[in-house]
Structure 1
Amino acid sequence: MPVILKLLTAVFFTCLSLTAYGEKLRIVTEPWAPYVYDDNGSMRGLDYETTVIVFQRLGVDVEWQFLPWKRCLAMLEQGHADGALDIFHSHERDALLLYPSEPLSNVEFVLFYANDRPHPAETLDDLRGLTVGNSPGYLYGDTFSDSTLFNREPAPSHEANFGKLSLGRVDLVITDRRVGQHVIKAMGLEGKVSQAPIVISRQPQFLAVRRGAGMDLLVQRFAAELKRFKQEPAYAALSAKYGGIQAITASEHTVEQQESSAP
């Protein structure tokens, strides 16, 4: 039997096993606009809509659930979820998760500060003695996570972090540049919050699944179809749709732009 036929046959039975008796692939994620978010009861976002299209082409039914990120990770570890959307690769998670070779998108972690309490940090040393609002379970890079120069204070959501920033309960907030811009606009904080020059880290994010029978073949097919979809006009239109939101957001408030080598 040709290799490609063996692969397609294995993928077929993997997908069949997922849908047998009405079972679906259970994917968890945290609202992470504009990558994935709830828009008045409808799930939207660049990475969410891309993933939906790819799984439709693979014939895999998906059940989605929004949860705080720390809860998402717990669901994966306990076997209550089959995968997570927009997760970073971590060698510590390799024993649990499989990652496609093709990422969905790339993240650029930056810092935001309140204009009436400016902290335009250019290096980590500029954070000495300050408190940075963060999100539990997120991987910001070892340099940031291992530093003892500053304090970290978690919050249950990105909106909560920016709310604490507005109230002066934290000095800065760390999050993805595009996510921060989206939250600033949604909360009406334009002109009140700015982005610091420092870029903490840049890293790709994936749709990862728990290790299991046939899952390695599923992620191979997912990666191949994702890569194919990215070359199509439909993906260009989808990217422009959410890229347009990002461009409008960036131009409407005083966030200092930092060019990314990723996306």
Structure 2
Amino acid sequence: MLHALKVGFWFGICLLFSSLSSAQTVKLATGEWAPFQSATLKNDGYVSQIIVEAFAEEGYDVELIYMPWKRAMEEAKQGRVDGTFLWGKSEERSKHFSYTAPVVTLTNVLFQRTDNPITWNKPEELKAYKIGGIDGFSYGIEKWEEQGFIKLERIFVAENNYKKLALGRLDFVIEDRDVGMAIIHRIGLQGKITENNQPVNNRSYYILMPTDSPRTKQLINTFNRGFSKVVEDGRYEAYREASIRGEYKLK
């Protein structure tokens, strides 16, 4: 009887420590989005590094899991991971998710062929143009789409949009400025494709966590505290500048 109690006691202790250990790991699903986050970049890109270090400040490890964007969103919604990044806010997402502090603010622009510059000032002027985007990604232009001012031709591989643009099969590609420039240089289209001089919008991006998860409130508060430390001690800006200089080279 005493032996059984001892075994039960130590089994309970092991379960407790196992539970505490797993509670200190945050699982985040994400898609490939260089130069911000990518399995091919040093430290998985500067945004991933910022997120990992923010949680580390509060004693948490982060497990990054790469998958297609739509699946990352669904895995988070179903609670199979703790969250997913980077995403902008939207009405639909707010039904299911809570948001951390904004991790980064980016500028969406339209890329065009250098030999075919297009001038536009109002969204309704974009009706006549073929515009490429990425499947499952939100650009903060949902209202324009609902009003019929813009209809995106969405595909899964970002690079292919720029190839279609270069061949004249698209008039524009909508993309974050930094991401677009990185892709253009990576596939050798510099000089052929350039940024349109009218920005589409500035948009903040977040880590999304399922609102109905019992861990979400704690993890959001944890991240926000750690993130403030990374910003305040200068690491945030240092990592971003290093990325712009190309220091997060492909592995």
The 1:122/1:193 distance shift into structure 2, 3 A limit, reads farther
- Aligned twin of 2:168: 168
CA offsets 1:95-127 (integer angstroms, 9 cap, x no match) = 322212x21110211100122343343332332
Give the match for residue 200 of structure 2. Answer: 200
Q: Amino acid of the residue matched to residue 108 of structure 2? A: F
Alpha-carbon RMSD: 2.5
TM-score w.r.t. length of structure 2:
0.81
**Distance (Å, rounded) in 2 between the aligned partners of 1:77 and 1:164:** 33
Equivalent residue for 2:154? 154
Code of the residue aligned with 2:109 in structure 1: it is: V
Residue 106 of structure 2 is matched in structure 1 by 107
Pair 1:79–1:218, CA change in 2 (3 A): closer
Instruction: Specify whether residues 32 and 216 from structure 1 end up closer, same or farther in structure 2 by C-alpha distance, changes over 3 A only.
Output: same
In the aligned structure 2, how far is the partner of 1:238 from the partner of 1:166? 32
Task: State the partner residue of 2:134.
Answer: 135
What SS does the corresponding residue of 1:129 show, helix, strand or coil? coil
Bigger Rg, which one: 2
Cα offset for 1:92? 2.3
Unaligned runs of 5+ in 1: 1-15, 247-263
Please say which of residues 114-123 and 230-239 is displaced more in the overlay.
114-123
How big is the shift at 1:21?
Answer: 5.4
The aligned residue for residue 26 of structure 1 is 27
> Counterpart of 1:197 in 2: which secondary structure?
coil
* 1:160 to 1:68, Cα distance in 2 relative to 1, 3 A: farther
* Residue 23 of structure 1, CA deviation: 8.3
State the secondary structure of the residue aligned to 2:196. strand
2-side partners of 1:214 and 1:77: how far apart? 13
How far apart in 1 are the matches of 2:19 and 2:134? 32
Percent identity between matched residues is 25
Q: Deviations over 1:1-51 (max 9, x none)?
A: xxxxxxxxxxxxxxx8876459843211122222112326x5532211101
Contact conserved, 1:111 with 1:173, CA < 8 A, in 2?
A: yes
Provide Cα deviations, 1:55-113, integer angstroms capped at 9, x if missing partner: 2222222221222222222222333332112111223223322212x211102111001
Equivalent residues in 2 for 1:11-90 (5 A)? 20=21, 24-39=25-40, 43-90=43-90
Q: One-letter code of the match for 1:166?
A: A
Tell me how far apart the structure 2 counterparts of residues 118 and 203 of structure 1 sit (CA, whole Å).
24
Q: 1:18 touches 1:60 (CA, 8 Å); kept in 2?
A: no
**Structure 1 residues 20 and 38 mapped into 2: Cα distance closer, same or farther (>3 Å)?**
closer
- 2:240 aligned residue: 239
Contact 1:111 1:196 in 2 (8 A): yes
Q: What amino acid is aligned across from residue 81 of structure 1 in structure 2?
A: V
CA deviations over 1:120-178 (Å, ceiling 9, x no partner)? 43332332321110112222223432242443210102212212212222211001111
Aligned counterparts of 1:18 and 1:237: Cα–Cα separation in 2: 36
Look up the match of 1:12. Answer: none
Secondary structure in 1 aligned to 2:32?
Answer: coil
* Distance in 1 of aligned mates of 2:19 and 2:31: 23
2:155 and 2:161 in contact (8 A); partners too: yes
Rounded Cα–Cα distance in structure 1 between residues aligned with 2:18 and 2:99: 20
Aligned mates of 2:110, 2:51 — CA distance in 1: 28
TM-score by length of 1: 0.77
Verify: 1:223 aligned to 2:217, yes or no: no
Aligned length: 229
